[in-house]
Amino acid sequence: MLPSSSKPVPEGQEKIEKWMAFPPVNSHQPHPNSNEINEESNKPAISQEMVNRAAEWGLVVKSESAKDAGGVMVGLISAGEGGTSSSSMERGAESRRTSREPSFTTKTPRVSQELKDALSTLQQTFVVSDATRPDCPIMYASAGFFNMTGYSVKEVIGRNCRFLQGPETDQRELAKIREAVRTGKSYCGRLLNYKKNGTPFWNLLTITPIRDDRGKVIKYIGMQVEVSKYTEGLNDKTLRPNALPVSLIRYDARQKENALSSMTEVVQTVKHPRTHQHSEDNKDSVKLDEHDKFPVESPLLNSAETKYYKSPSRLSPMMDFKRNSSRMSSTKSGRSSLMGFRGRKQSTVEKTETIVEPEILMTKDVERTESWEHIEREKDIRQGIDLATTLERIEKNFVITDPRLPDNPIIYASDSFLELTEYSREEILGRNCRFLQGPDTDQGTVSKIRDAIREQREITVQLINYTKSGKKFWNLFHLQPMRDQKGELQYFIGVQLDGSDHLEPLRNRLSEATEMQSAKQVKATAENVDEAVRELPDANLRPEDLWAIHSQPVFPRPHKKNNSSWLAIEKITREGEQIGLKHFKPIRPLGCGDTGSVHLVELQGSGELFAMKAMDKSVMLNRNKVHRACIEREIYSLLDHPFLPTLYTSFQTTTHVCLITDFCPGGELFALLDRQPMKIFKEEAARFYAAEVVIGLEYLHCLGIIYRDLKPENILLQKDGHVLLTDFDLSFLTSSNPQVIKHSSPTRRRRSRDQIHPIFVAEPNTQSNSFVGTEEYIAPEIITGAGHSSAIDWWALGILLYEMLYGRTPFRGKNRQKTFSNILNKDLTFPSSIPASLAARQLIHALLHRDPASRLGSNTGANEIKQHPFFRDINWPLIRCMTPPELDVPIQLIGKEPESNAKDKQLDDEEMLIQTLEAF
């Protein structure tokens, strides 16, 4: 690495790539070869523990002169060979002085025991380098780093990380690292490194600068994870004839997206070691007493208003129609959790709960400390995460091949397949499956498979295959062709099942009963794969075809076709002109999301303002986002609702795709909430915003859309104060099944005013299993991989209502892994210091039921939620006419006044677009 530039870079401009959660590492494991730290470490006066702990910080412990044999000196290991120079000995003598002494002038980084103890609790593999010294020497390395590389403490501390480089390390990646260090920016990339014994390995490296109060970079954190088993390696540069990657999934992008939480935890620990250590020491101190616990799964207690919620039916027997219907086409078979979480086992026996007075129900005294404020309200953008598609969450042994390419190569292999065969992903992508054959593989069976491929038909066979190490296994293999909408062959799906443990010794094959049962399993897996892979774009499409939907014309929907924005757009299109970038003038940036940035623009010559969402094509290709962008465009074109945005036009340039939608001058609900005292809304305001969100979600569900990313940042405020749900790049689009549910006729005639009217229900009728959403708002079934329906949006509504009333979300932890654990296991409680009505707490509780089948809204959708006592004062048919409640800090409308650098600009071409995005 090069020494960092002293030019300060505002921390707010730093973009930390997302990262994957790391496997646990024993932080107390002794460092390898720690006995080599000092030649004199065997002297009785110096403990080995002292040597090890000092060496971690680049210090070496030595005995002093013979006349003072009991003394100890601490000196700095040199950046070269690890010896101690006279100057470092002098610095070591000075280091024995207390920090109160003004004469402490050494340039050696002063490391506190507090920071060291805090870092030692982290499980990540990382190093901390000193950016204030030439060559950025390593001043701390985690135990995982020594275990991964094989180097000793003496060989690492005080040196630059370039000792991991070797003959095949990509010099272009090294140049990126040097530039990042020179300019004080972050870096995330994969490069080939070498262990001490010379073994090469793929290292996914994330570098993040740490700045002081003046903005100067003082440290660099370098976090590593070995990805040799699962990365596509050099295959990421192998292209198909259509210039797209051979691999169906870009694995490097997936792992980078998982980086955010892990790196964030290390950064926050370095910046705030006391807060981290406090949270470690007190992680169990806020547990409720046994009589105060109120588990999320518990049925609500009996009170004047709780009869409404009795399980299993909340309203009446007719409300249970959904449980007995088969409208959900479940594809749960073989799907599991990406993060390794499993949900609580649901009991069929209803638990008996202790009766608690309603006014103290579900409340707990929680002191709002400074550390809580730092953890819970830290400035972050809470971006949506896209950890896995449905395809990637099928935990079975299978591959997908493309017969349209020469030799029918593998374009996708599941993690389970890699574990079974012992191959890495890099070794098999782009190859034919014949590498599994060996001496005892029956060639007659192989011929049957070839015939099935030639005839494009499915087949199930048994044969002996071999792992990479040469181990035999009995493979029940199912081959299934997959066809596109035109009926043409698109892919082959190959599913393997290891039947070695079920062989009959005499017949040397599976029994008929076992074969029949196993054949059903592999066929079911193939069907799940077939369904999941259809969510992704065809790998054989030309690059220009991927974005074709963004060039399709947009036609006005009935309810807004006469508004001024549409009239201004149609004035251009009526003349036969195609709207593009040149028609818009940039005014100001409005924000940035997971896949792009949003800008306030003006339609030239009309005075009409719009929001333009611009997304970089190359970024979406590299991050597996193409299908997300296309689904978002399709969803926008379906919307026609006062609480949802209107799509006026969309277009593409060589580098970007752009959507033109409504501009909301009220900004984000998140910003409005953040400006309120205590960062909370009064209950009247929370009820108003929640009610309008319910109406918006109801409409989306009627169209077969599962929103999947409800949060305050995605709720915009119109000029009149009403809401607008936006950002659909993580949404799932399927069909819906409209139904009219009638009540059974009463036994005696009732007055007409007492009659219950039929209910219209239209909910999405298929499930998804993608791992998407925003960390604090993700529902339990997404984490466990059980498959999810529209009920996840009602869970998110419960989290939203909690955040509006209490200023924080209920399950957020210090990192992503802890947050997900809390979502699955932590009891739901409400701070008693913040007043909220019993009805509000009951509604949140009913929405945050971990079992989606028992969650409020799971039977008849929004109808159940609208009837809740919390919304008693809402006039649902006239909600659009309601006056938004007064707030302590009112909405601040965003004006048209352009920023100084945006004046008189016109987006004539894509180069201007890129320059404008960078300027914003």
Q: Which of 27-36, 145-154, 694-703, 907-916 has the lowest mean pLDDT?
A: 27-36
pLDDT value at 394 more than 90: yes
pLDDT score recorded for residue 592 = 78
Mean pLDDT lowest for which of 110-114, 285-289, 518-522? Answer: 285-289
Distance between CA atoms of residues 493 and 436, nearest Å: 16
Q: Angle at CA 69, nearest 5°, toward 63 and 70?
A: 85
Q: What angle do CA 613, 619, 622 make, to 5 degrees?
A: 145
Does residue 289 carry a pLDDT above 60? Answer: no
Per-residue pLDDT, 506 = 54
Query: 815 vs 325, which has greater pLDDT?
Result: 815
Distance CA 401, CA 31 (A): 44
Low-confidence winner among 737-746, 847-856, 863-872 (lowest mean pLDDT): 737-746
| Strand locations in 212-257 (E) | 217-226
Task: Report the candidate in 755, 772, 621, 712 with the shortest Cα–Cα distance to residue 248.
Answer: 621
pLDDT at 900 over 70: no
Please name the residue that has the structure tokens 């034919």. Answer: 432
pLDDT for 121 equals 86
709 pLDDT band (50/70/90 cuts)? Answer: very high
Distance CA 730, CA 388 (A): 11
CB atoms under 10 Å from CB of 388, counted, come to 22
| Residue 201 tokens, joined | 């390995």
Query: What are the start-end ranges of the H helices in 201-249?
Result: none
Residue 233 pLDDT exceeds 50: yes
Element (H, E) at 73: strand 72-76
Read off the DSSP letter of residue 343.
P
pLDDT for residue 617 is more than 90: yes
Average pLDDT over residues 501-512: 74
Q: With bands split at pLDDT 50, 70 and 90, how would you rate the model's confidence at 274?
A: confident
Nearest alpha-carbon partner for 844 in 796, 810, 801, 790: 801
Give the pLDDT of residue 558: 92
205 vs 225: CA distance, rounded Å: 7
Cβ proximity of 856 and 312 under 8 Å: no
pLDDT of residue 505: 65
Compare 688 and 278 and report the one with higher pLDDT.
688
| Residue whose pair of structure tokens reads 């990509």 in the numeric block | 170
Within 13 Å, how many C-alpha atoms sit on residue 227's CB side? 29
Burial of 574 (0-12, 13-18, 19+ CB in 10 A): exposed
Report d(CA 39, CA 33) in Å as an integer: 13
Phi, then psi, of 757 in degrees rounded to 5: -80, 155
Q: Of 339-353, 755-769, 861-875, which one has max mean pLDDT?
A: 861-875
pTM as predicted: 0.78
Give residue 501's Cα distance to chain centre: 38
Mean pLDDT of the chain: 79
Q: At what angle do helices 683-702 and 791-806 cross, to 10 degrees?
A: 160
Cis omega (within 30 of 0) for bond into 589: no
Q: Is CATH 3.30.200.20 the classification given to domain 545-662? A: yes
User: What confidence score (pLDDT) does residue 102 get?
Assistant: 34
pLDDT at 340: 53
- DSSP conformation letters of 511-550: -HHHHHHHHHHHHHHHHHHHHHHTTSPPTTS-HHHHTGGG
- Portion of the chain with pLDDT greater than 70, in percent: 71
**Whole-angstrom Cα distance, residue 896 to residue 903?**
11
Helix (H) or strand (E) holding 694: helix 683-702
Sequence letter at residue 458: E
Nearby residues of 217 by Cβ (< 8 Å), 6 or more positions away: 4, 5, 6, 9, 131, 184, 209, 210, 211
Work out the average pLDDT over 582-590.
93
Instruction: Report phi then psi at 399, rounded to 5.
Output: -130, 160
In this structure, which long-range contacts are made by residues 158-165, counting pairs with CB atoms below 8 Å and at least 24 apart in sequence? 158/58, 158/76, 158/77, 158/78, 158/79, 158/80, 158/82, 159/79, 160/1, 160/79, 160/129, 160/135, 160/136, 161/1, 161/127, 161/129, 161/222, 162/1, 164/193, 164/194, 164/203, 165/193, 165/194
Separation of alpha carbons 149 and 31, rounded Å: 11
* Per-residue model confidence as pLDDT tens digits over 183-232: 999 999 999 999 999 999 999 999 999 999 999 999 999 999 999 999 99
Architecture of domain 113-271: 2-Layer Sandwich (3.30)
212 is catalytic: no
> Residue 62 pLDDT more than 50?
no
| pLDDT grade for 312, boundaries at 50, 70 and 90 | very low
- Mean pLDDT, residues 703-717: 97
List every span in the chain annotated with CATH 1.10.510.10: 667-743+757-881
Residues 6+ away with beta carbon under 8 Å from 160: 1, 79, 129, 135, 136, 137, 138
3 confidence band (pLDDT: 50, 70, 90): very low
Location of each CATH 3.30.200.20 domain in the chain: 545-662
Q: How confident is the model at residue 216, as a pLDDT?
A: 94
Q: Which amino acid is at 777?
A: Y
Is there a contact between 207 and 177 (Cβ–Cβ < 8 Å)? yes
Kindly provide the b/e burial profile for residues 306-332, where b requires at least 16 CB atoms within 10 angstroms of the residue's own CB.
bebbeeeebbeeebeebeeeeebeebe
pLDDT digits (tens, 9 = 90+) for 726-747: 999 999 999 998 888 887 655 5
State which amino acid sits at residue 906: Q
Residue with tokens 């730093």: 14
Token pair, residue 578, equals 């195609």
Distances (CA, A) of 398 to 303, 336, 406, 497: 53, 15, 20, 9
Amino acid 488: pLDDT:
94
- Is 613 annotated as a binding-site member? yes
pLDDT score recorded for residue 269: 85
The model's confidence at residue 511, banded by pLDDT at 50, 70 and 90, is confident
Mean pLDDT score, 147-169: 94
Mean pLDDT to the nearest integer, 813-837: 93
At residue 606, the pLDDT reads 92
Q: In the predicted model, is pLDDT for residue 905 greater than 70?
A: no
Q: Would you state the pLDDT for residue 575?
A: 84
- Judging by DSSP bridges, how do beta strands 363-364 and 830-831 pair with one another? parallel
Assess whether pLDDT exceeds 90 at residue 259: no
CA dist 97 → 5, 58, 85, 197, 513 (Å):
31, 18, 20, 41, 78
For residue 174, which amino acid is it? L
Give the torsion sign (CA, 238, 244, 249, 255).
positive
For the domain covering 388-535, report its CATH number. Answer: 3.30.450.20
Give the rounded distance of the alpha carbon of 335 from its chain centre. 18
Supply 781's token pair.
């079934």
Least confident of 222-226, 253-257, 580-584: 253-257
Q: What is the DSSP letter of 828?
A: P
Question: 807 is written with which tokens?
Answer: 């200023």
C-alpha gyration radius of the chain: 31
List the catalytic residue out of 709, 727, 729, 793. Answer: 709
- pLDDT band of residue 384 (cuts 50, 70, 90) is confident
In terms of Cα–Cα distance, which of 718, 331, 796, 328 is closest to 533? 331
Question: Buried b / exposed e across 80-116, counting CB within 10 Å, b at 16+?
Answer: eebebeeebbebbeebeeeeeeeeeebebbebeeebe
Of residues 90 and 594, more confidently modeled: 594
Domain covering 667-743+757-881 in this structure, CATH number:
1.10.510.10
What does the pLDDT look like over 878-892, one tens digit per residue?
999 999 999 999 999
Is the pLDDT reported for residue 780 higher than 50? yes
User: Angle at Cα 551 formed by Cα 491 and Cα 565, nearest 5°?
Assistant: 140
Distance in angstroms (rounded) separating the CA atoms of residues 701 and 790: 7
pLDDT computed for residue 501 by the predictor: 83
pLDDT by residue (tens digit) across 632-685? 999 999 999 999 999 999 999 999 999 999 999 999 999 999 999 999 999 999
Alpha-carbon distance values, 498 to 42, 515, 840 (Å): 53, 12, 52
Q: How confident is the model at residue 245 (pLDDT cuts 50, 70, 90)?
A: confident
Is the confidence at residue 55, as pLDDT, over 90? no
Collapse the DSSP code of 456 into the 3-class scheme (helix H, G, I; strand E, B; otherwise coil) and give the result: coil
pLDDT of residue 784: 96
Q: Measuring CA to CA, how many Å separate 544 from each of 613, 626, 654, 655, 675? A: 20, 12, 9, 11, 44
Q: How confident is the model at residue 503 (pLDDT cuts 50, 70, 90)?
A: confident
Q: Report the C-alpha gap between 157 and 140 in whole angstroms.
A: 7
pLDDT at 361 (0 to 100): 54
Q: Give the residue-averaged pLDDT of 595-603.
A: 90
What is the C-alpha to C-alpha distance for residues 139 and 115, in angstroms, rounded to an integer? Answer: 12
Residue that the structure tokens 């979406």 belong to: 620
For CATH 3.30.450.20, the residue range(s) in the chain are 113-271, 388-535
pLDDT-derived band of residue 593, with 50, 70 and 90 as boundaries?
low
